[in-house]
Amino acid sequence: IDRHEERTSEAVERLAGEFGQSRVAGFVTDLADRDALGHWLPEVERFLGPIDLLVNNAATNVLGPLVDVSNEAWDRVIGLNLTACFTLARAVLPGMLARGRGAIVNVSSIAAFGHGVENNTPYAASKAGLNALTRSLAVEGGPFGVRCNGVAPGLIEGPFLSARREDYREDLEQTPLRRFAEPADVAAVITFLASDDARHVTGEVVNV
């Protein structure tokens, strides 16, 4: 699910080539739009069956001093990074609870932790809230066999970092492995937390 039609189509084509057309579906929507949820969620279940796994990975950011952050920018960051995760979890949780199984993985950020990140307050606040949501869902879902964990990436190789690499040289020097993570490094931890290998892991937020 993505709000970019071309990117969604490319992902579906790539995944369908690996797993088969009948096992992959793409949906174009803005996850911050709560009203749209009722339209596409039934389509997902009709096409793929009951939802046993939810990965909340969509996010946005606004950079700058807090005094310059508009109400609209704050609402957008909180709405997508935190509220959309709550809305999606609330939508899929009843089915998971009824079936006695399920896993939710929330993609957080190292920005959520207490050291603070300059000019990044809305994002850090949204991800700290997501960590709290993760732990609360773990407590609620645990007695019914539903797990909820989080992954907290640092800086990830990609277009954003490529365009600003010099700005983050100090961050690279403070990273123990002296490299930034690849997307696959994060995906591997998500895959583990979603799998039965992590059947007794819940309420955790794993830094990557």
Question: Quick check: 76 pLDDT over 80?
Answer: yes
pLDDT of residue 40: 85
pLDDT for res 100: 97
Q: What is the mean pLDDT of residues 20-35?
A: 89
Are 112 and 131 in contact by the 8 Å Cβ rule? The answer is yes
Q: Residue 5 pLDDT > 80, yes or no?
A: yes
Query: DSSP of 17-63, one letter per residue?
Result: HHH-GGG----B--TT-HHHHHHHHHHHHHHH-S--EEEE-------
Average predicted confidence (pLDDT) for the chain: 92
Active-site residue flag, 123: yes
pLDDT (0 to 100) of residue 117: 65
Nearest-angstrom CA–CA distance, 151 and 110: 9
Q: Is the pLDDT of residue 110 over 80?
A: yes
Rounded distance between C-alpha atoms, residue 59 and residue 90, angstroms: 18
Range with lowest mean pLDDT among 47-51, 104-108, 145-149, 198-202: 47-51
Q: What is the pLDDT of residues 48-58, one digit of tens each?
A: 899 999 999 99
Higher pLDDT, 135 or 110: 135
Q: Take residue 116 and report the two structure tokens written for it.
A: 């603070």
Work out the percent of the chain whose per-residue pLDDT is above 70.
98
Q: Which of 2, 108, 109, 123 is catalytic?
A: 123
Q: Which residue has the tokens 């690499």?
A: 165
Residue 6 has pLDDT above 90, yes or no: yes
Name the region of 89 (left: φ>0; alpha: ψ -120 to 50; beta: rest): alpha
